[in-house]
Structure 1
Amino acid sequence: MDFSLLGPISVTTGSGELTLGPAKRRSVLALLLLQPNTTVPLQQLIDSLWEDEPPEHARTVVQGHVSRLRATLAAGGAEAYGIELATHGSAYLLRLPEELIDAHRFAELVALARPEAAPGDAVPLLREALGLWRGPALTGTVTSPPFAAAAHALEEQRLTATEALARAHGALGEHEQAAAILYTAAVNNPLREGTVAELMQALFRMGRQSDAMEWFHRTRRLLDEELGVGPGARLKGAYEKILRAEEAGGGAAAGDAGGDRAAARTADGTARVPAQVGRRPAATDPAGTVPVRSAVPRLLPRPPARFLGREQQLAALTAVVRSAEPGESPLAVVTGPAGVGKTACAVQWSHAYAGDFPDGQLFADLRGFNEGAAAEPVEILRDFLLALGTPPERVPDSAQSASALFRSLVADRRLLVVLDNAQSSAQVRPLLPGGQHCATVVTSRSRLDGLVATDCARPVALQALGPEEGTALLGAMLGAERVADDPEAARELVGLCDGLPLALRAAAAQLTARPRWRLARLAAALRDERRRLALLSAEDTGVAAALRMSVARLSADDARLLSALAAGADGHLNASVAAALAGSDPADIQDSLDRLAEMHLVDEESTDVYTISTLTQLFARDEGSGGGGGGG
């Protein structure tokens, strides 16, 4: 159970987010979380909830909110986490492990970081801390002075951590990254002299003295106009330090910045980088300039749990990236049937080689085989551009313009782009970076032959796990001793799951929930083909759900052919057998058969030799696929 103060007030469990109710109830919870394991007087709650004179029934209202919160937390399993909302006379106490509160974890991570003494360790600690923020602090609470003061205090901590992260990058000599971090903070907090002073020094160390001086004069004018005061000691100190260095001829090495990185500015003060000579400017920018790099995105999802094997495929991904032709941006397509572990393989490799892409890692689920419509490229491009620091108002509305701006922004970056769950080559193409130092990994149930033809994509095929690998995965999920007690049953389970990691993980979930079951008992249950697909499911995850999304993308004719193929006895067939099962001529069904193979719903083992897995057969029989999806 996780409690969030750094953004919208929320409580999340393994089953999802709890419904907390109206703003005052969220505010009661927030105040208790701001003072965990401390009694909070009822009168303090009343004074915080009502900015004006509270109503006569204020005590009853607060008591009602506390009662509803207690019931909500209990329904979410609070007791199992050691959480209790107790009443102590006319006060309340929220007793809980403080590490469950994001603000507490944030403060601990910041305290551990030592940006000057150990900058290499401080950078990941501070990035993790700042990654806990999901928006302005205490969003969703009432707008009273106590909550405004608490939110301001948390935001101050956030800015302090941001400045510390920039100092850590500076200590590592990564002045461009420091400037990018500080630029956004300074724009959003133009009167925060400490942030501006840090930004000035980072810019100066990049060789951008004029930009550093301009930030000083801009801030000096704002202080005078808004507050009627002059610059403080820290801001003046940074300015004088730059002046002394220039007078002594010791300015930051211009070679670190390069003439093509020197910033110009438009009339509205937006930092810009002139387009390099010989490079085509972004299509959306008539001035021939593109926004300054202002963020290093780290969007990869968490590494897959208990990932095993796939050494050959991981090595193949490395080979694709490292053997690209000069001037080309490498592109790998991880393909395979539903549930074979494409996403896990791509994410595992991406984390292992993230250090090769210091300018960031982008990740997007293209929802090609989810319920509902696949993601539109312009939607993904907007997310990418925002992650790269593009102001929202500068993000183009059209996919073509957004794609051009994206390519311009990343042209000189060492960036990794992971596009998961793609439906088609056309969906992927606008999202491909053009820079030769960028790499792209795409996952799809379709082979995406179009990308191979037009973009020299290199396929990396994933197959089902063999008996040894499948047994090892069960051992990782269940414990080696439990599998060793019943090795034959473990191998049978791998066969009954067709070697699919998704099915094996679902089987492991069934056994984890039933610790007294031997593996042979589940194997016996799975032998019943009528129950197998149901047993190989865990909530919204399972083989049937995954196959349903694949079949939903088929045309009606292709879906009918799949249903006919499921009637085959042993899952082995050729075009003549397939045609006989479908009641058609071989020539009439060849295209449909090829499309099923492209979608990995059947496998073409060799010329005119096809197989269909047992689980796919069971699904097609159960669902009566003849209706089809009518689409894609």
Structure 2
Amino acid sequence: MTVEFGVLGSVEGSIDGRPVALGHARQRGVLAVLLVDVDHPVTVDQLIDRAWGHHPPRQARSTLRGYLSRLRQALAATREAVIARQPGGYVLTTVGTVTVDMHSFRRLAAQARATGDDTRAAALFEQSLRLWRAEPFAALDTPWLNALRDALVQERLAAQLDLGDLRLRLGQHTALLPELSARAAAHPLDEHLAGQLMLALHRNGRSAEALDHYHRTRDRLARELGIDPGPALREIQTAVLRQDTAPGAVPQPGAPTQPSPPPAQLPLSVAAFTGRDVELARLDRLLSAAAKAGAGTGAGAGAGAGAGAGAGAGPVRPAAVVISAVSGTAGVGKTALAVHWAHRIREAFPDGQLYVNLRGFVPGGSITDPAEAVRGFLDALGVPPARIPNGLEAQAGLYRSLLADRRVLVVLDNARDAEQVRPLLPGAPGCLALVTSRNRLTGLAATEGAHLLSVDLLTPGQARDLLAGRLGPHRTAAEPSAANEIVTRCAGLPLALAIVAARAADQLHLPLAVLAGEGGRHSSERPGRRGPGHPGTRGVLLVLPSAEQRRGPAAPAAGPAPRTGHRAARGRRPGRSATRPHQHPGDRTDPRQPAHRTHPGPVRPPRPAPHLRHRTGHHPRRRRHPTCGNTPHARPLSAHRPRRRRPADPSQEDSHQSDPCSTGLCS
């Protein structure tokens, strides 16, 4: 059964060639929104905003449910295109025989640009352009659909220009001339199009008309934009003046002179990577399972058994889009694990490896916008800047089209949430996306079928191996107790261990016992204050205490924090200490306090509410009197006098101020 949907014109659908009644325009708009993100979930709020814009109905959700119910009835004759309800939204799930003309157009255009055969590329471009029936999303008018329509029109023009260059190189200038004349009249400021028309006119023996068109284009550019023609158009004018019989086609602005190599953006792998055998084995099994699924369907025949698992195994080629989300606390080694495994399996993805740091948790920094990340990927894939469409939706569509029929590894590091990741996920089989985040991205598992992997702290044995790998086994073996103390205080955090190891490697004369001793002696010092020992201890003082507090279950139980405020003042019996019963007065280990606030000293007494300070004798701003040296205490309720009016003469203001000594408030 063949199911076809079209949005490059009016929104239409057909099953085995028979049209499907999709209802009125608004209901077709809801289907169009699902078709744009086919096989990807769309939230209810997104559906309402994209289908109605700024004027949704009062009962928008119930109206939406009614439209979706009627669309399900219209598609009831096939099981190959089903509108399914998912947590938070809806998704139009399809199988391989279902086509959407917009996605087919983008896929064919990307294939044409990727091939090196001009004849084959021209045929692909012509096939993609034949899918256009009229203006996209005809009879639909919402801000989101209008922006997507403009982006698609620009993509169509880019495909037409690329096809024009191919046909000029193939010598089809005579058949191309009428089409170029009409297109140049519709886009008079497009220099690329003006150059194509000049070449076609010149090769048809109409050089005078070619020069006339150049002068008209130059005058219009100067009059409307205040600029001169670019170098490419001036070169064609020079060739026409010289009566060059076969000038080359106008180069695309910003086009690369040669095919760009496959991107290899993976960062440097961590030196002396230690541990994580369980996590690496799970990732290997994930890729092997995808390869076996492909072997069963013929998509991945001949794939090896496990990436990096055996020396004789060939590269594993996933049969479908594999998404793995690695989560864990800060400093636990998520990025190191992802980059290390990506280097192990890079041979399975010969078409490139893409990497981006999404900066989802950078303190004080800006989060990487998905549009910025997609633009970087398009640059890495060799797309000229002039050919990158406007808008995130169009750019993501071009990005997925370029990844079609390719095997590309995409590493999305330090993601904040699933919404930041979704536009960057590949949509074609054979690709793999590896995502790291401090949050557990259950949304990706629910909607995109991502495989979740949690990264825990290192075991003591793994931590000792990491320290020995950084410092050398001879140094840790010489001071085993100091090495164990450092491992304990770093609490299994690879980042903390790496910082301490870098500190020790920088000063080879510094014994490990000094590092461990400084961590224990100054673990509660404030950041930035150096201890009395060796110089430059600031880095150790900042690492060891914070890592010990991150350990969680292994940290000493601190009990509840003391109550403060008027409730604490009323609830405490006279003579009871403000500290907790099980806590020494000199200790302060409230787990809710950050590491740099942890310092020895007595716990401050709770500060009562303002209206109870006269009962507790607490005064927040008591100062000793400059004459007698006594400290005025709070005035009892009976001593409060009515507010004194301000004198009319400001010069007499000081004479009305009460002296604590004269009022008897000094004791």
TM-score (norm: length of structure 1)? 0.43
Larger Rg: 2
TM-score (norm: length of structure 2)? 0.41
